[in-house]
Amino acid sequence: MEDIIILKNIKLTFISTKEDKFDNEISYFRLAKNMENKFSQINKVGMRLPYFEISEGKYLLKVKNKYIKIELKKDEPINCEIHLKHYKMDQFEGWYVSKLC
């Protein structure tokens, strides 16, 4: 399995930023329609993924702010390249966004 996967031309809209319980700033982006299909190569059973379904056919992408390379403007559509990095720690395995735009 590759350690890093690069997804190009991902259409997103910035929604908000929140602090998690570990004091990390986390930003949430709405994926444009059908963009979740570009993540299909990492969508394996039991893997933790950096996106989740909020309602039928609507998905949010979760990214730590330290990996975001652009200025964020609420509700502004953007077209990005996303780098996904694989991790495995004890019983946890998954992907996280290691670079956005």
pLDDT in tens, the chain (101 residues): 578 999 999 999 999 999 999 999 999 999 999 998 898 888 877 789 999 999 998 999 999 999 999 999 999 999 999 999 999 988 889 999 999 99
Cα–Cα distance measured from residue 13 to residue 70, given in angstroms and rounded to the nearest whole number: 13
CATH of the domain at 39: 2.40.50
By residue count, the chain amounts to 101
**Domain with 77 in it:** 4-100
Q: Cβ distance 66 to 30 under 8 Å? A: no
Q: How many C-alpha atoms does 6 have within 13 Å on its Cβ side?
A: 4
pLDDT of residue 10: 96
Number of domains making up the chain: 1
